[in-house]
Chain A
Amino acid sequence: MDLETALGLYNYWVVIFLMMTGFYMVIARRNLIKSVIGLNIFQTSVFLLYITMGKIHGGTAPIVPPDVVKSHSVHHAVTEGGSSTYGPVEHEASGYVLPGPLVAEHLQTDHAPRAIETLVGDEASPRQEILLEGARLAGELDGIVYSNPLPSVLMLTAIVVGIATTALALSLIVRIRVDYGTIDEDKILEMDRLP
């Protein structure tokens, strides 16, 4: 691994650093609150790991620009008409021009319909049409690179789980504090050893 690759992976270095910091705090615990903080740091490092793997260099958020959504009905009519697909398609709302041949080429490749078939089954349904339309729009946006949204979505769930875990841990610590009068684990264990 040369220096450039090593530096390029800096996100992963941060992940490993955070992971080990958190893990060490949990193991070397004295104070119960501190070990819960360690647990939190440990979990956070995993969020960063997932988000890093979803990010593509130069990629943008996977949202269809509003201009394209607005002009979609106009464009729909043009492509259905057939003859004008090879001319530049002008968008009514924004006025910016999409390369016509590129759109046509995209519609001819059968990748999109096949992907949609696997999604909703092969029978023609309103849902399939909507998805096909979505694929056409995606084709128009050729050249734009999107980041993978799935890892970020997964991490939303994991964050919720992390919050629930922290809340539960803290409420348990409150009860321990009430019963023992301390949150120092050594002292607690010492108190339980005495009859």
Chain B
Amino acid sequence: MISENLPILMIVLPLVAAPLCVVVGGRRFAYGLSLLVVGCVFAISIALMTEVVRSGTIRYEIGNWKPPYGIEYVVDGLSAFVMLFVSGLGAIVLVYAPRSVDAEIPHSKHYLFYASYLLCLTGLLGICITGDLFNVFVFLEISSLSSYALISLGGTRRAPLAALQYLIMGTIGATFILIGIGLLYQMTGTLNMADIAQRLPEGFQTRTVLVAFAFLTIGLCIKMAVFPLHTWLPGAYTYAPSVVTCFIAATATKVSIYAFVRVIFGIISPQFAFVELPLARSLMLLAIVGIFAGSLAAIYQQNVKRLLAFSSIAQVGYMLMGISMANEAGLSAGLVHMFNHAIIKGGLFMVVGCFALRIGSVEIKDWQGAGRTMPWTSFAWAIGGLGLIGVPMTAGFISKWMLLTSALQTGRWPVGVLLLISSLLAVVYIWRVVETLYFSEPSETVKQAKEAPLGMLIPTYVLIGLSLLFGVWTAYSVGLAQQAATVLLGASS
């Protein structure tokens, strides 16, 4: 009974728990309930993943209404993979959260924080699991609205402003997506993704489909923070509370990339997107410009959160680059990078949260000499940084290596060269922080700073450890991504 209904439980559990947090109130209850629910959701996503590996795609009809009339949830290799790491990171960040939330958010607002956190997770998982295009819009708005609220909880007066700027950009993006969905519905008369894919070939030549695809692409690019539509991201990541930045940086843009992959490979075929339209070339261009612009901007930042935010814009470029290669190797490289980057960036933002708790600042100059008083936290930064650069034996290396081989295989050697140069830029901005931590005299504040509490260090080291683990043992990360890529390309050819 329960095992049949796992797909819907995945969404309903956090969705019901969120208002429960608000109705009952009380920060201890809210935290306990959230932890329990997110733990369950993570367990469900593992169960779904094993089920998908064993017996293939799971289709769940909500209320037993047959698709395309009813809404259908589809768990295939790709969505199970994304849900697995989104819910896993959601759980780890929540374990890490209490101390940091205590310090950064007023006690009276804790239950609201946990409620918004659960809603945001619901939305992100919903985007992955649903097989209905309009449902994607609804879940996208659930996750976006709750993340605007989460960002505005930041302590400074800049937080509400950053949240409002994100809200305006995000709503324009979501409305573009809504227009795209509407135009596709106009052409096909259905909202079920598989059904649209089946009926669409008849209308490929029409301008309506072209415009629909353009709206969907631009809308999702805003959500993915693809350069030059990234303007909302640095402010949102910088001024949000540390925990929120951890969670959103690790999951939100990845889920939008998932949605984009789904649109290209699941609805509009790659044949249409890459052969009949010059999407591959334009995406590749945006990706490379984004990588360089993001990395260069990161080098000049004084605020570590802002530095990592610009680095995220660059990393989105790597993922987009993988997708734009439009072959199996490139696509799986992009997907693996999504997974690896979620772990690495989540870990690095956790390190920033530890420093913010103990030193009370995220400016680089205030971290001088913290390597002596907070050795474990500083060491975590160094290891995580190596992963971000893509040094061998770390997860970051695996995905960049896959991107590189895929670029060389298809004869795009200039892309390969640019890829290597861009990694050197990452060395520069990671090194700036490492240098400040280890090779300068500690200030008075830093001298009095204690090591971060174990409750925060352990989750941080779990993620940092995973980034090393997936650098040597790739059976799950690469294996599952390749399987997902094969299914995607197989379904569309």
What chain B residues lie within 8 Å of A26 (beta carbons)?
A: 168, 172
Which residues on A sit within 8 Å (CB–CB) of B171? 39, 43, 165
Q: Within 8 Å of chain A (Cβ to Cβ): is B483?
A: no
Name the interface residues of B158-195: CB closer than 8 Å to any CB of A: 158, 160-161, 163-164, 167-168, 171-172, 174-175, 178-179, 182, 185-186
Look across to chain A and name the residue whose beta carbon is closest to the beta carbon of B134: A154
* B interface secondary structure, majority: helix
Given contact pairs A53-B185, A175-B160, A180-B157, A165 touches B66 in the complex (Cβ within 8 A): no
Docked complex: B388-440 residues within 8 A CB-CB of A: none
Assembled-state Cα–Cα distance A148/B185 (Å): 12
**Quick one: which of B138, B163, B182 contacts A157, CB cutoff 8 A?**
B138
Q: Tally of A-B residue pairs with Cβ under 8 A?
A: 73
**Which residues of chain A come closer than 8 Å to B66, judged between CB atoms?**
118-121
- Is A42 in contact with B175, judged by CB distance below 8 angstroms? yes
For B161, give its contact among A43, A157, A176 (CB under 8 Å). Answer: A176
Tell me whether B152 is interfacial, beta carbon within 8 Å: yes
Interface residues in B, total, Cβ within 8 A: 29
Q: Is A139 an interface residue (CB 8 A)?
A: no
**Cβ distance B385 to chain A, nearest Cβ, rounded Å:** 29
Closest to A35 in B: B168
**Min CB–CB distance B97 → chain A (angstroms):** 22
What separation, in Å, do the CA atoms of A32 and B134 have in the docked complex? Answer: 29
> Could you mark each residue 14-42 of chain A with 1 if its beta carbon is under 8 Å from any beta carbon of chain B, else 0?
00000000010010000010011001001
A195 CB to nearest B CB, Å: 13
Contact A168–B141 (Cβ < 8 Å): no
Considering residues B66, B148, B164, which has the most beta carbons from chain A within 10 angstroms of its beta carbon? B164
Q: Is the CB of A176 within 8 A of B182?
A: no
Closest to B161 in A: A176
What is the CB-to-nearest-CB distance from A156 to chain B, in angstroms, rounded to a whole number? 11
The smallest beta-carbon distance between B141 and chain A, in angstroms, is 5
Cα separation A98 to B163 with both chains bound (whole Å): 61
A173-B65 CB under 8 A given contacts A154-B134, A157-B138: no
Asked whether B65 lies within 8 Å of A119 as measured between CB atoms, the reply is yes
| CA–CA, A53 and B149, complex, Å | 34
A134 within 8 A of B: no
Find out whether the CB atom of A168 lies under 8 angstroms from the CB atom of B157: no
Contact between B69 and A192 (Cβ–Cβ < 8 Å)?
no
Instruction: Identify which of B148, B185, B186 contacts A172 (C-beta below 8 A).
Output: B148
Bound Cα distance from A133 to B163, whole angstroms? 52
Partner of B182, one of A23, A39, A50, A175: A50
The chain A residue with its CB closest to the CB of B152 is: A172
Indicate whether A39 sits within 8 Å of B168 (C-beta atoms), given known contacts A46-B182, A175-B152, A180-B157. Answer: yes
Over the window 57-85 of chain A, the binary record of Cβ atoms lying under 8 Å from chain B Cβ atoms (1 yes, 0 no) is 00000000000000000000000000000
The distance in angstroms between the C-alpha atoms of A119 and B64, with both chains bound, is 9
Is A138 part of the binding interface, using a Cβ–Cβ cutoff of 8 Å? no
Question: Does any Cβ of B come within 8 Å of A190's Cβ?
Answer: no
Q: Verify B160–A46 contact, CB threshold 8 A.
A: no
Q: Is B145's beta carbon under 8 Å from chain A? A: yes
Q: Which of A36, A158, A169 contacts B178 (CB 8 A)?
A: A158
Residues of chain B within 8 A of A130, CB atoms compared = none
List residues of chain A with CB within 8 A of the CB of B160.
172, 175-176, 179
- Chain B residues with Cβ under 8 A from A49's Cβ? 179, 182
The reply to whether A42 and B167 contact each other, CB–CB distance below 8 Å, is no
Known: A120-B66, A157-B138, A172-B152. A165 touches B179 (CB 8 A): no
Residues of A within 8 A of B175 (CB): 42-43, 46
Binary CB contact string for chain A from 153 to 176 against chain B (1 if under 8 A, 0 otherwise): 010011001001100110011011
- Determine the residue in chain B with the shortest Cβ distance to A40: B171
Residue of A nearest to B189 (CB): A148
Q: Smallest Cβ distance from A152 to chain B, in angstroms?
A: 12
> Any chain B CB within 8 A of the CB of A151?
yes
A119–B186 Cα distance when bound, in Å, is 22
Q: How far is the CB of B179 from chain A (nearest CB, A)?
A: 6
Contact indicator A173/B145 (Cβ below 8 Å): no
Which 10 pairs, one residue from A and one from B, show the smallest C-beta to C-beta distance? Answer: A179-B157, A175-B160, A172-B164, A161-B141, A172-B160, A53-B186, A176-B160, A50-B182, A165-B171, A169-B167
What would 17 more interface pairs be, CB under 8 Å, given A39-B168, A161-B145, A176-B157?
A35-B168, A39-B171, A43-B175, A119-B65, A119-B69, A120-B66, A161-B174, A165-B141, A165-B167, A168-B149, A168-B167, A169-B164, A169-B167, A172-B160, A176-B160, A180-B157, A192-B158
On A, residues with C-beta under 8 Å from B are 23, 26, 32, 35-36, 39, 42-43, 46, 49-50, 53, 118-121, 151, 154, 157-158, 161, 164-165, 168-169, 172-173, 175-176, 179-180, 188, 192
| Cross-chain pairs A/B with CB under 8 angstroms, 13 sampled | A26-B172, A39-B171, A53-B182, A119-B65, A154-B134, A157-B138, A158-B137, A164-B145, A165-B141, A169-B167, A172-B152, A176-B164, A180-B157
